[in-house]
């Protein structure tokens, strides 16, 4: 009889423990845990020279495309000025050649006008000679003058044709040189722009590697920053929980400050791993018997700045 009562008592205790365990699981405030991450960007120098200005401090908030530093670009600007001077000289040379060609065109027009005037005089003197009003010599002089003017016209026209061909060649050569200078100036403009140190994203400076006045080379890391506004919680779920998770799902994310202290945020599942992995030592799942888990990423807007990189977080599916 005593033995029967003992087993009944033992069964009651077991049932009570099972009920307590079930209640504990139902009341569990989260389904998975993980750590918060942020997009990190290492900003490197795009030019070589002395870092003349560097307005960066760790913990500083900067906006995208804000200039936070300046590398010495004096030599680059001098080279660009020299190229601009050369381009002006070439343009002046092209203008002088064009001006000479215009002078020749004016000479041709003037000779034609003189010939036309001489021909009118030739007609008038031919009538006067026929009437005996003037001697033949005057008409001969006009004829000779017309012949000289016509030879000058032919020579000038030939010079114009020759100059046109030469002008075309010179123009092509000058245009090619100017185009080459334009390309060099565009390259220098790009190098000058690269001498400016700009923040690629909006975020927080988390590490600083150089100081103002140092000599830097292209590719040298200057500072590291992270987008702490948009955070990602990388958590792990079991295969049983995986059925409850889908991309785009809205979830609740809680920070873990310890001693059950934290803040709740809205999150969205953005990625689910297609491959399982062994439970990371830093992760505690609700089913401790599960050796394989699946990583998920949850996007969270850090509205109050309370989420820090590396901080533990909890997820309620």
CA distance 317 to 313: 13
Q: Return d(Cα 232, Cα 57) in angstroms, integer.
A: 24
Predicted local confidence at residue 291, as pLDDT? 65
pLDDT reported for residue 17? 39
Q: How far apart are CA 208 and CA 228, in angstroms?
A: 17
Rounded Cα distance between 243 and 169, Å, is 77
- Report pLDDT for 134: 76
pLDDT (0 to 100) of residue 289: 45
Helix axes 74-131, 136-194, angle to 10 degrees: 170
Tokens found for residue 143: 């004829």
User: CA-to-CA distance for 78 and 256, rounded, in angstroms?
Assistant: 57
- The dihedrals phi and psi of 271, each to the nearest 5 degrees, come to -160, 140
> What pLDDT does residue 91 have?
81
The pLDDT of residue 95 is 66
What does the alpha-carbon distance between residue 156 and residue 150 come to, in Å, rounded to a whole number?
10
209 contacts 10 by C-beta, under 8 angstroms = no
Residues 164, 2 contacting (CB under 8 angstroms): no
- Give, for all 317 residues of the chain, the pLDDT tens digit: 444 434 444 444 344 434 434 444 445 677 899 999 999 999 999 999 999 999 999 999 999 999 999 999 999 999 999 999 998 888 877 666 666 666 667 777 887 888 888 888 888 878 877 877 778 888 788 888 888 888 887 887 777 777 666 666 777 788 888 899 999 999 999 999 999 999 999 999 999 999 999 999 999 999 999 999 999 999 999 888 888 899 999 999 999 777 777 889 999 999 999 888 876 655 555 554 456 889 999 999 998 888 989 899 999 98
To the question of pTM greater than 0.95 for the whole model, the response is no
For residues 198 and 66, is the Cβ–Cβ distance under 8 A? yes
């Amino acid at each position: 009889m005593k033995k029967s009562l003992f087993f009944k008592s033992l069964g009651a205790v077991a049932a009570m423990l099972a009920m307590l365990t079930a209640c504990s699981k139902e009341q569990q405030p989260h389904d998975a845990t993980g750590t918060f991450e942020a997009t990190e960007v290492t900003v490197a120098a795009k030019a070589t020279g002395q870092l003349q200005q560097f307005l960066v401090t760790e913990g500083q908030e900067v906006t995208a495309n804000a200039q936070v530093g300046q590398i010495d670009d004096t030599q680059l600007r001098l080279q660009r000025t020299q190229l601009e001077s050369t381009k002006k000289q070439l343009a002046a040379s092209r203008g002088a050649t064009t001006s000479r060609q215009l002078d020749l065109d004016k000479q041709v027009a003037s000779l034609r006008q003189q010939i036309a005037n001489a021909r009118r005089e030739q007609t008038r003197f031919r009538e006067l000679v026929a009437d005996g009003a003037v001697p033949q010599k005057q008409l001969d002089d006009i004829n000779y003058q017309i012949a000289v003017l016509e030879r000058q016209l032919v020579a000038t026209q030939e010079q114009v044709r020759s100059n046109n061909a030469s002008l075309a060649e010179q123009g092509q050569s000058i245009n090619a040189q100017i185009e080459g200078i334009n390309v060099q100036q565009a390259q220098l403009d790009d190098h000058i722009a690269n001498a400016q140190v700009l923040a690629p994203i909006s975020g927080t400076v988390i590490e600083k590697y150089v100081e103002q006045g140092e000599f830097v080379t292209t590719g040298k890391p200057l500072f590291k920053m992270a987008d702490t506004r948009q955070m990602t919680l990388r958590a792990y779920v079991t295969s049983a929980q995986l059925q409850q998770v889908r991309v785009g799902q809205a979830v609740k994310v809680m920070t873990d400050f310890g001693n059950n202290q934290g803040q709740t945020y809205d999150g969205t599942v953005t990625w689910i791993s297609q491959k399982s992995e062994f439970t990371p030592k830093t992760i505690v799942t609700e089913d401790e018997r599960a050796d394989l888990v699946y990583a998920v990423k949850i996007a969270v807007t850090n509205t109050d700045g309370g989420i820090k990189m590396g901080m533990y977080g909890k997820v309620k599916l």
